[in-house]
Structure 1
Amino acid sequence: MHTLSHTYFIAKALGDIDVSFLEEAIAFPPKKVQTSLPKRLAAACLCLLIGVASLCTISFPAEENPASIDSEASPTPTPEPSQSVSGVTPPAPQLSLAAGENADMMPFFIYQGRTYLYYDCVPSRHLALGEKAGTATGLIDEWTPQDGYVNLAGSVTGDFYPVAGYDPSFLLAMPQTDGTMELFVAQNGYTLQTGADLFETRLSVLETCTAVTWETWDSWYEEKGDIHTLSTENTAAFSSFLGVLEQSPCCLTESIPLIDGAESVYDFFFDDWGLYRLYIARDDGITVELCLFEGGYVMFSGLQSVCVQVPPDDFSALLALLS
């Protein structure tokens, strides 16, 4: 099993920082920890120590996506990122490091053309696994050449399995020696049209929800741990919101209109538009974490390249439950 931390993976910046790298980096705040749950990674990215920690996207060259290269069999085609009336295709994670940088990579592995990124670590007692799907080799680091991004390669090592009740093309688990399981979410290789394609088909949130807790964005950012539990009298209203969420359209996060002065959606989305973090406990011990942003945008923290935009009135009704 791999020995990477379950929290942020801080990289050491050595030498001068390439300006183009900084311009492309996702500007996440330095402190983003859910205190009542195991710490989870904030994005599919590397973390660089440049005064404060900043997150950037994982970058593979578009002309030859290494996640689709299989050294043992024919590669599974990886759709190009797109957004149309038929839905959105999440882009393959991109890894971009300036020359001379030294970094610990985020936990991920490649399987059947998909890049699976670490999401959470949970107790294994309620999860049933299928037959072993493969073994991640852990052969990738920040210096791995493009032809090293082959099937089963990654930054972690270990056997991984499908989880009962989940599509293995979306979620796989890697058992740990301490009795827990690390969950990995596929970042590409499928198309989402509405929230139902994510929250119903792949996460079954409405059918399996046992409890809902939440905190303000400030509480999460400042690690205050000011967690609230959704009251019983608001359960029906929240279920109604989940129904609306499943009917609402998906969009690529990068397609969200920019505000004045912003060069990237990440310049303002996480710093200025964050409102609440919701933690939906499933009956199998997995927690589905939702990020709520101004504009009615809702994001599953395990797939940050995609958002669902909820109608204004329904979004306001949810905020009223949390205020």
Structure 2
Amino acid sequence: MNNKVKDEMNKIDIPEELSERSQLGVAKAANEIGKKRKRFNLTGIGIAAALLLSFGAFLLVGNEYLNDAGGGQQALISDKDRGIKIPAIKLPKGNTSSMDMIGLIVYNGKIYTQTNSQIKPAAAKDLLGEKLGITKGNIDEWSSQKAYAEELASTIGQADVYSVKGYDRDFRIMIYNEWDGNTRAEYYENLNGITIRSGADLFSKMKMAGHVSSAQWRTGNDWFNSIDNFKPITDMAVLNAFLEQLNHTKPILRERNGSGLDEMRNDEGFTELTVDLTDGSTVRLELLKGGYINYGAMDVYFKMEADIFSEMWNLLDEK
């Protein structure tokens, strides 16, 4: 067993009590990930189980929250000078048979999960870096804490794991397998145990600006109902300016905004932007009217300067 991994697992405790405001935020995050799972194309992957995470915040089990006898709290920490610290995920102790889940891999003391970035199977082979190992596929709903502490423990069965050419392996790794003419390729990202001082601490790692092949968007209503009614972005100059400005956005704790920003997730106040990159990667961002951007299930919003965001928002003209 890898002691480094065990140390990472034990860094952060689970909260005993959560405020009503925090519970609302986590419940919404769970709902959002449930919708995103439909878009990960999981059919045939053979996922035994995966961990539902509101990244950097809390673990959700059914309709209840995991408690830890230690009485500590796992929560985001904000400092106006030092940024927002998203703690390392503390995995559950004991039986988790009632847990709803997404894909998860433990690598080098970090926990990587499925996110809002994907790789097109036809392009994945060109991005294969160093082979890091083979996932164990040893985690399911009944696994103990001990199982999570193993290097390359996973919820996705056995798969070859690689670094990704052009990307930091501390941020992103990839599984890749070929069989009977089919390709299984997926990104996994580490979005916990990090500090975000500006958007650059997240978005610069995705390398979107200047590498766009195409982009499209759909309304909040279409996103909510999983309707693939995408409309193309035609002004690449505005899009690239927007993507570059993401590096200069200010991180804001989701829970500190209460339900206000979450309530903007409606057809008029919310849009999903999908960016296809020249290397075959695809990144999905959520835009909220007023200058806010969210990525995946992170409990952090990113606030953008008004003029640049407004130019981008105005491209989405069917509100």
TM-score for the superposition, normalised by structure 2: 0.70
Residue of structure 1 equivalent to 2:52: 45
Unaligned runs of 5+ in 1: 1-19, 47-53, 66-78, 260-264
> Which residue identity is paired with 2:171?
F
Instruction: Map 1:244-283; keep pairs closer than 5 Å.
Output: 244-259=245-260, 268=263, 270=265, 275-283=270-278
Tell me, in whole angstroms, the C-alpha distance in 1 between the residues paired with 2:109 and 2:218.
36
Shift in Å, 1:248: 1.3
SS in 2 for 1:130: strand
Shift in Å, 1:247: 1.0
Residue of structure 1 equivalent to 2:58: none
1:304 corresponds to which of 298, 301, 316: 298
SS in 2 for 1:225: coil
Q: Which has the higher helix share?
A: 2
Residue of structure 1 equivalent to 2:3: none
Instruction: Map 1:172-251; keep pairs closer than 5 Å.
Output: 172-177=173-178, 178-200=182-204, 202-231=205-234, 234-251=235-252
Query: What CA RMSD, in Å, does the superposition of the two structures yield over aligned residues?
Result: 3.9
1:113 corresponds to which of 104, 109, 114: 109
Q: Give the number of aligned pairs.
A: 271
1:315 corresponds to which of 304, 309, 319: 309
Residue of structure 1 equivalent to 2:154: 154
Tell me, in whole angstroms, the C-alpha distance in 2 between the residues paired with 1:251 and 1:115.
23
| Greater alpha carbon shift after TM alignment, 114-123 vs 153-162 | 114-123
> Which residue identity is paired with 2:87?
P
Asked whether the equivalents of residues 201 and 247 of structure 2 are also in contact (C-alpha less than 8 Å), the reply is yes
Asked whether the equivalents of residues 86 and 193 of structure 1 are also in contact (C-alpha less than 8 Å), the reply is yes
Shift in Å, 1:300: 2.0
Asked whether the equivalents of residues 273 and 293 of structure 1 are also in contact (C-alpha less than 8 Å), the reply is no
Asked whether the equivalents of residues 195 and 308 of structure 1 are also in contact (C-alpha less than 8 Å), the reply is yes
Shift in Å, 1:108: 0.3
Tell me, in whole angstroms, the C-alpha distance in 1 between the residues paired with 2:231 and 2:133.
40
Asked whether the equivalents of residues 252 and 307 of structure 1 are also in contact (C-alpha less than 8 Å), the reply is yes
> Which residue identity is paired with 2:225?
E
> Which residue identity is paired with 2:310?
S
Asked whether the equivalents of residues 44 and 93 of structure 1 are also in contact (C-alpha less than 8 Å), the reply is no
> Which residue identity is paired with 1:223?
S
Residue of structure 1 equivalent to 2:87: 91
Shift in Å, 1:100: 8.4
Shift in Å, 1:116: 0.6
Asked whether the equivalents of residues 91 and 305 of structure 1 are also in contact (C-alpha less than 8 Å), the reply is no
| Greater alpha carbon shift after TM alignment, 24-33 vs 275-284 | 24-33
Shift in Å, 1:165: 0.5
- Cα distance change of structure 1 residues 240 and 131 upon mapping to structure 2, 3 Å threshold: closer
Residue of structure 1 equivalent to 2:47: none
Asked whether the equivalents of residues 161 and 175 of structure 2 are also in contact (C-alpha less than 8 Å), the reply is yes
Residue of structure 2 equivalent to 1:14: none
Tell me, in whole angstroms, the C-alpha distance in 1 between the residues paired with 2:127 and 2:249.
31
Residue of structure 1 equivalent to 2:127: 128
> Which residue identity is paired with 1:45?
L
Please give the per-residue CA displacement for 1:261-317, whole angstroms capped at 9, x wherever unaligned.
xxxx76x4656885100011111111011011244210222x523321113333222
SS in 2 for 1:255: helix
Unaligned runs of 5+ in 2: 1-19, 43-49, 54-60
Shift in Å, 1:64: 11
Tell me, in whole angstroms, the C-alpha distance in 2 between the residues paired with 1:81 and 1:95.
16
Asked whether the equivalents of residues 216 and 274 of structure 2 are also in contact (C-alpha less than 8 Å), the reply is yes
TM-score for the superposition, normalised by structure 1: 0.70
Asked whether the equivalents of residues 51 and 103 of structure 2 are also in contact (C-alpha less than 8 Å), the reply is no
Tell me, in whole angstroms, the C-alpha distance in 1 between the residues paired with 2:175 and 2:301.
27
